[in-house]
Every structure is written in structure tokens, then in C-alpha cells.
Amino acid sequence: MPIVRGRQIRVLYDAATIAARNAEMAAEIAAAGYSNLLVISILKGSFVFAADLIRAFHSAGISPEVEFLTLSSYRAGTVSAGTVEIVRDVESDVHGRDVLLIDDILESGRTLAFARARMLERGARRVGIAVLLEKPGKRAQPLVAEHVGFICPDLFVVGYGMDVGHAFRELPFVGVVED
């Protein structure tokens, strides 16, 4: 078990497993028939996953445009307020385009439901969702991600872009802090 910053981290999904799944997901997304694709990475947690998945798109024959969207349901707190707000919006016009939202984890679904609804309101032709991890037992919104890397146990995970208290985002794997 790796020790990072004096804490033991149990690895759930190692770097090689994640890389292989990213390649598979890129092929699945290519087969899904998106056209004039705009990929929107939801920050901050998805940035590592989005970067690796977007690089895997090259081998799958996908050449998307890329944007970033920062949303928050927490702001200064540690418990979701249940409402979502835009902290940083996309700059591109989504009207008439296929959009793929990329996020690190699908739990309650509030953030991704908000983002999908916002893109459809702005005239996106199609809005798909790709997530690295899905926790099906946590859903507060009726939402389905079309592209899922892994079904994750109900654990608080870190690494591969995900953090706790701004720590552990740099880890090349997804793990659980063991204390």
C-alpha cells in the first residue's frame, strides 16, 4: 500500500488499468457517432481523466474541440448545498453541436444534470456524459452516463485528479485513504 504525505492509500484502480479503460472508452465514444464534437471537461476533478481520455481519442479517430466548465455545489462548505452554480463558463457556442461532458465521478447527479440541461437549453444537438467513476447508489437526479469507466464502491476516493482537502490529485491511480 503506497504511503503518500504520511497516509496509506489503498489502490482501487491502478494507472495501467485506467489507461486501458480510457482506450476502450475512446473506442466506445468513437462508435457512438458523435459529430462536430465539443468536449467539455468539468473542473476541477476531471482534468486528469479528461486529458488522458482526449489523448486516447486520437487513436480512436476522434478530433474534438475542447472546453472547460467549472461548477460548484459546495463553494466554501464541505456538504453540497443541493444547488449548482457556474463558476467558469464555456466560451464556445454549443448550438447545433454534439457535446460530451467529461467528469471524474457521477454520484448524486446534480452537477451533471445541471450541465446537461444548460447545454441543451443553449441548443446543443446532443449531450453525452463520460465519467471515470460511477456510484449508482448515490443518485439524487435521474441521470444516466452513456460512457462509464468503472462502477465504484461507495468509498471516498482520491487520486487521478480527485482530492480531499486539495491533496492527492497528483496520484496516477484512484485510491482510498486508509486511516
- 78 has a pLDDT exceeding 60: no
Share above pLDDT 90 across residues of the chain, in percent, rounded to a whole number: 80
pLDDT band of 142, cuts 50, 70, 90 = confident
Output the pLDDT for position 80: 53
Average pLDDT, the chain: 92
Output the pLDDT for position 130: 98
Nearest to 47 by CA among 141, 162, 179, 164: 162
Whether the ω angle into residue 44 lies within 30 degrees of 0, i.e. cis, is: yes
- 165 has a pLDDT exceeding 90: no
Mean pLDDT, residues 50-61 taken together:
97
Structural domains of the chain sorted by starting position, each given as residue range(s) with its CATH number in brackets: 16-149 (3.40.50.2020)
- 50 has a pLDDT exceeding 90: yes
Task: Answer left, alpha or beta for residue 160, where phi above 0 means left and psi between -120 and 50 means alpha.
Answer: left
Mean pLDDT, residues 111-117 taken together:
95
Output the pLDDT for position 77: 47
pLDDT band of 81, cuts 50, 70, 90 = low
Nearest to 130 by CA among 37, 59, 9: 37
pLDDT band of 74, cuts 50, 70, 90 = low
pLDDT band of 119, cuts 50, 70, 90 = very high
